[in-house]
Amino acid sequence: MSFLFNLFKSKNREVDVTICGLDNAGKTTIVKFLETGEFVKTQPTMGINRGESIHSGKIEINVFDLGGQEDFRQLWSEVNEKSDGIVYVVDKTDVMRFEESYNVFHNVLKSQLHKDIKILVLLHKSDIQDGLERNRFIKEFGLLDIHYQWACYETSAKTGENIYEAFKWFVESLKEVS
């Protein structure tokens, strides 16, 4: 049973969300944490995985976990175009690939999303000290300039920090999708 099952019960309608970001960002680990409530070891995602659905009071959220390796990114647009929300995961410790992640994110925003989409950005692996601090990240990642409803949380699937809070925001904002 999903970790979030108990928080958000019963079903009225379905929404689709995708989890994207560079390879090794931590996407599948986050999905597994949502499903089990604990840190689980993962393998790189080859293509697209459909995770367990998350149930809320009014909605059922279908989670699509996208492989972040360059060869798989061409598969994203088809799923993202139909999505009601995306979770974009950035490894906060991977400063060397910050620019690559920035470019991939803004490319997704430009070409793949409908205008009412909700965007949850996770500055992930917060259990590690290195890397970007949230306020600086928000500015440098261009979040202040985007025209979608968004939120940014620092998260860890090792300690569980902010995972619940982040997805609570996401679920609440998805309830507004008509």
Ligand X SMILES: Nc1nc2c(ncn2[C@@H]2O[C@H](COP(=O)(O)OP(=O)(O)OP(=O)(O)O)[C@@H](O)[C@H]2O)c(=O)[nH]1
Token reading at 143: 């979040």
Total residues at interface with ligand X (CB under 6 A): 21
Residue from 2, 28, 112, 126 touching Mg ion (CB under 5 A): that is 28
Cβ atoms 12, 55 nearer than 8 A? no
Residue from 61, 157, 166, 171 touching ligand X (CB under 6 A): that is 157
Residue from 73, 97, 106, 158 touching ligand X (CB under 6 A): that is 158
Residue from 2, 18, 29, 173 touching ligand X (CB under 6 A): that is 29
Residue 31-50 contact track with Mg ion, rule CB under 5 A, x = bound: --------------x-----
Centre a 10 Å sphere on the Cβ of residue 128 and count the other Cβ atoms it contains: 12
Please report whether residue 1 would count as binding ligand X according to CB under 6 A: no
Site for ligand X in 41-70 (CB under 6 A): 42, 44-45, 67-69
Across 51-163, where does the E strand assignment appear?
54-55, 59-66, 85-91, 118-124, 149-155
> Token match 């300039």: residue?
145
Closer of 75 and 128 to ligand X (Cβ): 128
- Of 48, 47, 59, nearest in space to 16 by CA: 59
